[in-house]
Amino acid sequence: MTSEPILNIVLYQPEIPQNTGNIGRTCTALNAKLWIVRPTGFRMDEKQLQRAGLDYWQHLQWEAADSWDHLLPRIPSDRLWIFTKFASQAYTAPHYQPGDWLLFGSESSGLPASLREKFASQCVSVSMPGPVRSLNLSVTVGIAAYEAYRQFSLA
Protein backbone atom coordinates (compact mmCIF):
# COMPACT_ATOMS: atom_id res chain seq x y z
CA MET A 1 0.00 0.00 0.00
CA THR A 2 1.34 3.43 -0.90
CA SER A 3 1.32 6.33 1.52
CA GLU A 4 -0.65 8.65 -0.79
CA PRO A 5 -4.30 7.66 -1.20
CA ILE A 6 -5.59 7.14 -4.70
CA LEU A 7 -8.83 8.93 -3.74
CA ASN A 8 -10.27 10.79 -0.77
CA ILE A 9 -13.78 9.67 0.16
CA VAL A 10 -15.58 12.15 2.44
CA LEU A 11 -18.66 11.20 4.43
CA TYR A 12 -20.54 14.24 5.69
CA GLN A 13 -22.11 13.40 9.05
CA PRO A 14 -22.78 9.68 8.41
CA GLU A 15 -25.47 8.09 10.56
CA ILE A 16 -25.30 4.33 10.01
CA PRO A 17 -22.20 2.49 11.24
CA GLN A 18 -22.66 -0.46 8.87
CA ASN A 19 -22.56 1.88 5.85
CA THR A 20 -19.40 3.55 7.12
CA GLY A 21 -17.83 0.14 7.77
CA ASN A 22 -18.68 -1.04 4.25
CA ILE A 23 -17.30 2.19 2.79
CA GLY A 24 -14.13 1.71 4.85
CA ARG A 25 -13.72 -1.72 3.28
CA THR A 26 -14.15 -0.24 -0.21
CA CYS A 27 -11.59 2.46 0.62
CA THR A 28 -9.12 -0.17 1.79
CA ALA A 29 -9.61 -2.15 -1.43
CA LEU A 30 -8.81 0.93 -3.52
CA ASN A 31 -6.15 2.48 -1.27
CA ALA A 32 -8.46 5.47 -0.79
CA LYS A 33 -8.55 7.57 2.37
CA LEU A 34 -11.81 7.84 4.27
CA TRP A 35 -12.65 11.22 5.82
CA ILE A 36 -15.50 11.40 8.31
CA VAL A 37 -17.05 14.78 9.05
CA ARG A 38 -18.58 14.96 12.52
CA PRO A 39 -21.01 14.74 14.09
CA THR A 40 -21.78 11.12 13.29
CA GLY A 41 -24.79 9.07 14.32
CA PHE A 42 -22.53 6.54 16.05
CA ARG A 43 -19.29 6.17 17.99
CA MET A 44 -16.24 5.20 15.97
CA ASP A 45 -15.69 2.19 18.21
CA GLU A 46 -19.14 0.67 17.68
CA LYS A 47 -19.19 -3.06 16.99
CA GLN A 48 -21.37 -2.68 13.87
CA LEU A 49 -18.76 -0.41 12.31
CA GLN A 50 -15.94 -2.85 13.00
CA ARG A 51 -18.03 -5.83 11.91
CA ALA A 52 -18.93 -4.24 8.57
CA GLY A 53 -15.28 -3.30 7.99
CA LEU A 54 -14.25 -6.83 8.98
CA ASP A 55 -10.54 -7.31 9.54
CA TYR A 56 -9.73 -4.66 6.92
CA TRP A 57 -10.37 -1.71 9.25
CA GLN A 58 -6.82 -1.89 10.62
CA HIS A 59 -5.49 -1.24 7.08
CA LEU A 60 -7.79 1.71 6.40
CA GLN A 61 -6.36 5.20 6.07
CA TRP A 62 -8.96 7.40 7.76
CA GLU A 63 -9.32 10.67 9.57
CA ALA A 64 -12.17 12.47 11.29
CA ALA A 65 -12.80 16.20 11.02
CA ASP A 66 -14.75 18.05 13.69
CA SER A 67 -16.76 19.92 11.05
CA TRP A 68 -16.93 20.68 7.34
CA ASP A 69 -15.35 24.07 8.03
CA HIS A 70 -12.33 22.33 9.57
CA LEU A 71 -11.88 19.99 6.59
CA LEU A 72 -12.61 22.37 3.70
CA PRO A 73 -9.23 24.22 3.79
CA ARG A 74 -7.47 20.88 3.21
CA ILE A 75 -9.38 20.16 0.00
CA PRO A 76 -8.18 21.62 -3.32
CA SER A 77 -11.41 23.19 -4.60
CA ASP A 78 -10.80 22.05 -8.18
CA ARG A 79 -10.44 18.41 -7.06
CA LEU A 80 -13.78 18.14 -5.22
CA TRP A 81 -16.78 16.24 -6.61
CA ILE A 82 -20.07 16.39 -4.74
CA PHE A 83 -22.52 13.51 -5.03
CA THR A 84 -26.15 14.51 -4.73
CA LYS A 85 -29.43 13.42 -6.25
CA PHE A 86 -30.09 17.09 -7.06
CA ALA A 87 -27.27 17.35 -9.63
CA SER A 88 -27.95 17.56 -13.34
CA GLN A 89 -24.48 16.27 -14.30
CA ALA A 90 -23.88 12.50 -14.36
CA TYR A 91 -21.19 11.01 -12.12
CA THR A 92 -19.46 9.71 -15.26
CA ALA A 93 -19.03 13.22 -16.73
CA PRO A 94 -16.02 14.46 -14.70
CA HIS A 95 -12.48 13.55 -15.65
CA TYR A 96 -11.39 12.07 -12.32
CA GLN A 97 -7.74 12.17 -11.31
CA PRO A 98 -5.79 10.36 -8.60
CA GLY A 99 -6.11 12.29 -5.34
CA ASP A 100 -9.59 13.68 -6.09
CA TRP A 101 -12.05 14.21 -3.24
CA LEU A 102 -15.53 12.63 -3.49
CA LEU A 103 -18.08 14.04 -1.02
CA PHE A 104 -21.24 12.21 0.08
CA GLY A 105 -24.01 13.40 2.40
CA SER A 106 -25.65 11.70 5.35
CA GLU A 107 -28.11 8.87 4.84
CA SER A 108 -31.23 10.76 5.91
CA SER A 109 -30.64 14.35 4.81
CA GLY A 110 -27.82 14.33 2.26
CA LEU A 111 -25.77 17.52 1.99
CA PRO A 112 -26.85 21.03 2.98
CA ALA A 113 -28.27 23.13 0.14
CA SER A 114 -25.70 25.85 0.89
CA LEU A 115 -22.85 23.44 0.19
CA ARG A 116 -24.47 22.15 -3.02
CA GLU A 117 -25.02 25.73 -4.19
CA LYS A 118 -21.46 26.85 -3.41
CA PHE A 119 -20.03 24.01 -5.54
CA ALA A 120 -22.88 23.70 -8.06
CA SER A 121 -20.60 23.04 -11.05
CA GLN A 122 -18.97 20.14 -9.18
CA CYS A 123 -22.19 18.36 -8.23
CA VAL A 124 -22.78 14.99 -9.87
CA SER A 125 -25.46 12.33 -9.57
CA VAL A 126 -25.87 8.59 -10.01
CA SER A 127 -29.04 8.16 -12.07
CA MET A 128 -31.98 6.26 -10.63
CA PRO A 129 -34.48 5.51 -13.38
CA GLY A 130 -36.57 3.34 -11.04
CA PRO A 131 -39.04 4.45 -8.39
CA VAL A 132 -36.62 4.95 -5.50
CA ARG A 133 -35.84 8.07 -3.47
CA SER A 134 -32.12 7.31 -3.15
CA LEU A 135 -29.48 4.59 -3.26
CA ASN A 136 -27.80 3.21 -0.17
CA LEU A 137 -24.80 5.35 0.76
CA SER A 138 -22.28 2.50 0.61
CA VAL A 139 -23.57 1.46 -2.82
CA THR A 140 -23.26 5.02 -4.13
CA VAL A 141 -19.72 5.36 -2.80
CA GLY A 142 -18.79 2.05 -4.43
CA ILE A 143 -20.21 3.11 -7.79
CA ALA A 144 -18.46 6.49 -7.65
CA ALA A 145 -15.10 5.30 -6.35
CA TYR A 146 -14.79 2.52 -8.90
CA GLU A 147 -15.80 4.83 -11.76
CA ALA A 148 -13.05 7.26 -10.73
CA TYR A 149 -10.57 4.40 -10.46
CA ARG A 150 -11.67 2.99 -13.83
CA GLN A 151 -11.07 6.35 -15.49
CA PHE A 152 -7.55 6.95 -14.25
CA SER A 153 -6.42 3.33 -14.36
CA LEU A 154 -7.17 3.28 -18.10
CA ALA A 155 -5.48 6.62 -18.79
Q: What is the pLDDT confidence band of residue 68, given thresholds at 50, 70 and 90? A: very high
Check: CB of residue 59 under 8 Å from CB of residue 34.
no
Q: What is the pLDDT confidence band of residue 119, given thresholds at 50, 70 and 90? A: very high
Question: Does a structural domain hold residue 1?
Answer: no
* CATH code of the domain in which 110 resides: 3.40.1280.10
Question: Does a structural domain hold residue 80?
Answer: yes
Q: Specify which residues 138 forms β-bridges with.
A: none
Check: CB of residue 2 under 8 Å from CB of residue 94.
no
Three-class SS of residue 80?
strand
pLDDT at residue 50 tops 80: no
Residue 11: in which H helix or E strand, if any? strand 8-12
- pLDDT at residue 56 in the model: 78
Question: Does a structural domain hold residue 2?
Answer: no
Three-class SS of residue 16?
coil
Three-class SS of residue 123?
strand
Question: Does a structural domain hold residue 81?
Answer: yes
Identify the domain containing residue 135 by its residue range.
Answer: 8-154
Contacts (Cβ under 8 Å, ≥6 apart) of 31:
1, 2, 5, 6, 61
pLDDT at residue 52 tops 70: no
**Mean pLDDT value across residues 119-144:** 95
- pLDDT at residue 1 in the model: 47
What domain count does the chain have? 1
Determine the Cα–Cα distance for residues 105 and 28; give it in Å rounded to an integer.
20
> How buried is 74 (Cβ within 10 angstroms: 0-12 exposed, 13-18 middle, 19+ buried)?
exposed
**Mean pLDDT value across residues 88-109:** 97
